[in-house]
Amino acid sequence: MLALEINNLNFKYKSWTEKKLDNIFNNLNLIVNEKEKLLLLANSDEGKTTLSRLISSLLIKFIPSESSGSIKIFGKNIDEVEPYQLLDTICYVSQNPMEMFVTTTVENEIAFPFETMGIDRKEIIKKVNTALQIWGLERYREVSPSELSGGERKRLLLAITFAINSKIIILDEAFDDLDREYRILLAKIIKESNNTFIVMSARYLKQFDNLFDNILILENGEIRKEINYKEKFTHQDINNYLKNSRLLNEKRLREDKILINKEELLIKNLEIERVRESSRKNKFKLHCDEFSVKTGQIIRLVGNNGSGKSTLSRIICGLDNPLDGQILLNGEKVSNNKLQTKIAYLFQNPDLQIFLPTVYGELSWGLENDSKLSSKEIKKVVENCATLFNLELDETPSTMSFALRKYLQAAVYYLLDRPIIILDEIDGAMSYEAAYYIIDKLSEKGAALIIITHDDDFAKSICDKTYIAENGIIREEL
């Protein structure tokens, strides 16, 4: 039996600015059999999330758009049903978990869909406890989803999805943000399940080997079979992505190019205690003997979900205060305000840093408040930057793809020209080529980059040293 059938699908969004937009899909066709496990590979901004939401009946009825063609779930046209009626038939895991959470605690989040379905309370408690145990979230039962790490949020969304156990499960970049242990777990669950899976990804990961019945490519609005998919979507040496980049230079040559504005950040004997406000008993402690980075360097920071990578980042850029220890910039103690003017932090979720109605507004705001350029000069600089990062100045950020919002987030800091930049999961929901492009552009002026990632290979070939967050300690890899 066919689980999903898409025939001649055409779709485009309606512009908020009356601009005529091109179709995202052009007579797209797709057939997925019941219990089939499909991997759909696509570069950033090719429409993976749009397709996921269309299949889940979350777009056409709620977002201004134009479409034609048909989408059928087990033979029923989705136009004939409301999204809530599909809950036990199809479940969608968004690449951005925060857009799907509706309650104030982890356990309530898991319980919520079952309460709406009228399931017996004892059965709900059983399902919640099982989900918490499988996905390692027991200790966060009373914690707000907003206070979880990025990987923990993704695990919570997966816990909810697999507890519901719908016939069709759509995973939009679901492996991103997960550490190695939970990537392996997710792959194991998919392999052993009798559900139908449609997995969307911008990269081919190690965990995908021998996992799928079918692997297709989404490109230029169409879906097709291609035997050379690994060449396009598997991690390759950075030489295959970038030409004439300073990242390809040896460490010494990179650092020798930094003639002015040299900056060095040094952390000594740092003690951090983080208390989640929604559950005061849930404390997290972190210690770091020494952490250093200077302009021209590429630092790789790795560790499991919740190990403290983002917590350290917030301390480094002056958003939070440590319990004890020294944070020195060029050998001198600095205030949080000073750190905020020297260190940029690109959050895992770009929506936490994007708040103005147009791309031009986002790019120009920092310059208008942080430089002595004239309005004419700012306009020229912003236009050049938009071209460099493939952005349209009159576009509304909230309607852009997740990948383009990451490009915008990076472009803002490219203009602000901070000497030290933290990239928190920049590879999430991005193709390797796109992620390396952003890294290359941000490092062009000699900025030090601290790259946080769960991908074992990503950034390894270009990093000068690696720090590991493990068991409450951050240490340099020897």
Backbone φ, ψ for residue 39 (5° rounding): -105, 125
Domain boundary among 234, 268, 300: 234
Q: Please determine, for residue 259, whether its predicted confidence score (pLDDT) is greater than 60.
A: no
219, β-bridge pairs? 222
Same domain, 220 and 271: no
Q: Are residues 161 and 271 in the same domain?
A: no
Task: Tell me: pLDDT of 5 over 70.
Answer: yes
Could you tell me if 170 and 69 lie in one domain?
yes
Predicted confidence (pLDDT) at residue 8 exceeds the cutoff of 60: yes
- Note whether 361 and 451 are same-domain residues: yes
User: What is the structure's pLDDT at 280?
Assistant: 61
Residue 170 and residue 293 share a domain? no
Give yes or no: residues 182 and 214 share one domain. Answer: yes
The half-sphere exposure of 374 on its side-chain side, counting CA atoms within 13 A, is: 2
**Rounded alpha-carbon distances, angstroms, from residue 198 to 46, 383, 450:** 16, 39, 33
Please give the DSSP secondary-structure letter assigned to residue 23: P
**What would the pLDDT profile of 97-131 be if each residue is shown by its tens digit?**
998 999 999 999 999 999 988 999 999 999 999 99
230 plus 280 within the same structural domain: no
3 state SS of 408: helix
User: Rounded CA gap, 258 and 373, in Å?
Assistant: 24
**Per-residue confidence (pLDDT) for residue 249, from 0 to 100:** 61
The Cα–Cα gap between 320 and 304 comes to 21
- Which pLDDT score, from 0 to 100, does residue 446 have? 86
Whether residues 263 and 326 share a domain: the answer is yes
pLDDT value at 156 more than 50 = yes
- 252 and 217, same structural domain? no
pLDDT in tens, 362-379: 999 999 887 788 999 999
Show which of 200, 234, 268 is a domain's final residue: 234
Neighbour count for residue 345 (Cβ, 10 Å): 22
* 299 and 155, same domain (yes or no): no
Percentage of the chain beyond pLDDT 70 is 94
Residue of higher predicted confidence among 185 and 61:
185
Confidence of residue 456 (pLDDT cuts 50, 70, 90): confident
DSSP code string of 62-113: TS-EEEEEEEEETTEEGGGS-GGGGTTTEEEE-SSGGGT--SSSHHHHHHHH
Among 267, 369, 278, 379, smallest CA distance to 328 is for 267
End-to-end distance of the chain based on CA atoms, in angstroms? 54
Residue 78 sits in which domain range? 2-234
pLDDT tens digits along 26-77: 999 999 999 999 999 999 889 999 999 999 988 767 778 889 999 999 999 9
pLDDT, the chain, mean: 91
Number of domains in the chain: 2
239 CB burial (10 A radius; 0-12, 13-18, 19+)? exposed
Measured in degrees and rounded to the nearest 5, phi and psi for residue 366 equal: -65, -40
| Distance separating alpha carbons of residues 316 and 265, to the nearest angstrom | 9
For residue 448, how many other CB atoms are within 10 A of its CB? 26
Write out pLDDT tens, residues 296-340: 899 999 999 999 999 999 999 999 999 999 999 999 999 999 999
Instruction: Enter the tokens of residue 111.
Output: 């319980």
Mean of pLDDT values over 153-162? 97
Of 234, 251, 271, the residue that ends a domain is: 234
CATH of the domain at 284: 3.40.50.300
Indicate whether 116 and 179 sit together in one domain: yes
Same domain, 435 and 371: yes
